[in-house]
DNA sequence: TTTTTGAATAACTCAGACATATTTAGCCCC
DNA sequence: GGGGCTAAATATGTCTGAGTTATTCAAAAA
């Protein structure tokens, strides 16, 4: 279904990636100025063209800003497109700030229960079937850990699709992916946290019953448990 | 405070803008192929360099995808970064799909009440002062319509800042701006919808009182009234 | 039918030159 | 001495033309 055919890495893309990681990782701080194009590009061993295209990509995501004579510099953090899929991915390639991780979980805790509530009202039978299929896959015994996460993500995506809100879906897919990077990262410590199925089933049943309030609360409860499984500092 | 010094329009930027508007506006549909670089660039009367940088920008926002030999084509809509500030702005330069506008209002209806609730718990005195100042400005008699909207946006931004969640702030600023484009667009029909102050005061008071539930509900009510002022088709 | 090989093609990269805009410093004038 | 105008310095922006690489598509071979 998902034709994930890998696209060969092109120079401008890899450079944008590398510099982007440096920026979100804090090695290049807001206000820092890049050397001139000629200097910077030959320091990277690439042409000015490729370097400039990399800068265009970063600029499109709000990470840098170029002005004639003034040079190219890292923009203030509040200008960054923090929820851009690439920016999120780059953030989680390093050691993301725990505060930001909490922000994302908090955001997910707002988004997904609302999505579940919408789904409870608007879901079609086909969407219900998708949810059920993902749920069954999660319940299989031979869960290879990675397959388990994949099924879990399918479950969440099915709910998002059933919510019938494009903007919500675009947002949640980014945040959801980022959050899954975190769980993947933290999962080395404890193998399989606990059996998550009962909560998922509650969400599913509420959506089947078109009970939006119950779906909302069940999803909130599910996410709360998922967060508790991680050893993050508490927050008011 | 906000040094909004205008940056001169550069070719690659304007081209990215124009093509971006065409894509989100539907004149270039997903799957549509662009002519070769040489052909497309000279048809626009620009160099290949500028054209390529424009494509890089669009690619960074998920609107197009380039592959050697296959060419550059518009990607499927679910791959677009719909909440990217530029993409949103481009969307509202044309006649956005009413369904998508409803999606955004719905998203805002999820985000901002939650933000108000967080703000009620975490606000500092300084943030409270900012909210109060914006509120007072909204109440001034000589409201020049544009100034009124500016004060309203300041009010919402102050709440966002007080919520203490970077991800939430990044999201809401994008969506809030887009929604304000809509109100600006629709506002030609009816001059000043109604007096919005009472609702805003309720939100403010709830945040002052650290009553998160009341802040949540008051903000939800406020947004509900704002939506009702627009003549959009209802939704379940 | 399946696999492999090769040619065509479009994006990708490079290099060098020129144009443009903005900052900065210098200058003049008040 | 301060404010505004002028001009040079400089980094990004733009253009051109050549060459490289990757991917598709079709033809040929197994």
CB A197 within 8 A of CB A132: no
At B149 the pLDDT is 80
| Mean per-residue pLDDT, B91-100 | 94
User: Which among B17, B60, B7 has a CA at the least distance from the CA of A55?
Assistant: B60
CATH topology agreement for domains B11-79 and B97-228: no
Percent pLDDT > 70 in chain B is 89
User: Which among B97, B112, B109 has a CA at the least distance from the CA of B182?
Assistant: B97
CATH topology classification for A96-228: 1.20.120
User: Which among B136, B125, B116 has a CA at the least distance from the CA of B203?
Assistant: B116
- Using a 7 Å cut-off to protein CB atoms, list the covered nucleotides of chain C: 8-17, 20-23
Contact yes or no for A170 and B82 at CB 8 A: yes
Q: For residue B1, is pLDDT > 60? A: no
Alpha-carbon distance of B112 to A116, in angstroms, equals 18
pLDDT, tens digit, for every residue of A124-138? 999 999 999 999 988
ipTM value, please give it: 0.92
A11 contact to strand C (CB, 7 A limit): yes
At B195 the pLDDT is 59
Q: What share of chain B is helix, strand, coil (3-state, %, to 5)?
A: 65, 5, 30
Q: What angle do CA A135, B111, A104 make, to 5 degrees?
A: 60
At A8 the pLDDT is 82
Show residues of chain A in contact with B16, CB under 8 Å: 60
Q: Which residue has the tokens 């004639």?
A: A68
CB A212 within 8 A of CB A118: yes
A69 contact to strand C (CB, 7 A limit): yes
pLDDT, tens digit, for every residue of B113-123? 999 999 999 99
Give the H or E element holding residue B132: helix B125-139
CB A73 within 8 A of CB A31: yes
Residues 6+ apart with CB under 8 A from B59: A57, B65, B66
At B2 the pLDDT is 41
Three-state DSSP class for residue A70: coil
- Given its phi and psi angles, is residue B135 left (phi above 0), alpha (psi -120 to 50 degrees) or beta? alpha
Domain ranges of chain A: 11-79, 96-228
Q: What angle do CA A12, A85, B32 make, to 5 degrees?
A: 70
B47 contact to strand C (CB, 7 A limit): no
Contact yes or no for B169 and A56 at CB 8 A: no
Alpha-carbon distance of B234 to B236, in angstroms, equals 7
What is B97-228's CATH number, 3.30.70.360, 1.20.120.530, 2.40.30.30, 1.10.760.10? Answer: 1.20.120.530
Contact yes or no for A104 and B167 at CB 8 A: yes
Q: For residue A2, is pLDDT > 50? A: no
Out of A86-95, A100-109, B58-67, B195-204, least confident range: B195-204
| Mean per-residue pLDDT, A143-155 | 79
Among chain B residues, CA nearest to A112: B110
Alpha-carbon distance of B49 to B38, in angstroms, equals 10
At A234 the pLDDT is 79
| Mean per-residue pLDDT, A203-221 | 97
CB-based contacts of A139-146 (< 8 A; 24+ apart in sequence): A139/A197, A145/A187, A145/A192
Does residue B94 or residue A144 have the better pLDDT? B94
Distance of CA A121 to the CA centre of its chain: 26
Q: For residue A183, is pLDDT > 90? A: no
pLDDT, tens digit, for every residue of A20-34? 999 999 999 999 999
At B234 the pLDDT is 79
Q: For residue B192, is pLDDT > 70? A: no
CB B94 within 8 A of CB B100: no
CATH number of A11-79: 1.10.10.10
B86/chain A closest Cα distance in angstroms: 8
**A69/C29 CA-to-C1' distance in Å:** 29
CB B142 within 8 A of CB B221: no
How many CB atoms are located within 10 Å of the residue B6 CB? Answer: 5
């Amino acid at each position: 279904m998902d034709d994930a055919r890998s696209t060969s890495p092109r120079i401008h893309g890899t450079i944008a990636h590398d510099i982007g990681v440096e920026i979100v990782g804090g090695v290049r701080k807001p206000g820092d100025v890049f050397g001139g194009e000629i200097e910077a590009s030959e320091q990277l061993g690439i042409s000015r063209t490729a370097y400039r295209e990399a800068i265009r990509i970063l600029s499109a995501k709000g990470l840098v800003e170029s002005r004639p004579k003034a040079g190219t510099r890292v923009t203030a953090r509040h200008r960054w497109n923090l929820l851009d899929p690439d920016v999120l991915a780059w953030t989680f390639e390093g050691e993301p700030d725990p505060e930001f991780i909490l922000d994302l979980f908090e955001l997910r805790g707002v988004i997904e229960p609302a999505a579940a509530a919408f789904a409870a009202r608007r879901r079609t039978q086909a969407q219900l079937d998708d949810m059920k299929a993902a749920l069954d896959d999660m319940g299989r015994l031979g869960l290879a850990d990675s397959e388990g996460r994949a099924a879990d993500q399918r479950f969440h995506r099915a709910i998002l699709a059933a919510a019938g809100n494009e903007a919500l879906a675009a947002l949640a897919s980014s945040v959801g992916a980022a959050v899954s990077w975190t769980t993947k990262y933290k999962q080395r410590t404890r193998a399989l946290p606990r059996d998550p199925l009962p909560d998922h089933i509650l969400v599913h049943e509420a959506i089947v019953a078109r009970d939006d309030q119950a779906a909302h609360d069940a999803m909130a409860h599910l996410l709360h448990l998922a967060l508790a499984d991680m050893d993050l500092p508490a927050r008011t």
